[in-house]
Amino acid sequence: MAEDSMERFSAQLDELVAGYRRAVEELDAARRPGDGWMGLGRDPKRDPCHMAFYQGVGKAVEELSGLTAEQAGEAAELLLTLGLRTPVPDGMIPMLEAAQGHALPLIPQVAPERAALLLERYAARYPRKGGRLPIHTQLLQALNRRAGGKTKI
Domain count of the fold of the chain: 1
40 inside domain = yes
152 inside domain = no
pTM of the prediction? 0.85
**DSSP state string for 71-114:** HHHHHHHHHHTTTTSS---GGGHHHHHHHGGGGTTTGGGS-HHH
Domain that holds residue 13: 3-147
- Give the CATH number for residue 111: 1.25.40
Query: Residues 57-105: pLDDT tens digits?
Result: 999 999 998 899 999 999 999 999 987 877 888 888 999 999 999 999 9
153 inside domain = no
Query: Residues 9-30: pLDDT tens digits?
Result: 999 999 999 999 999 888 877 6
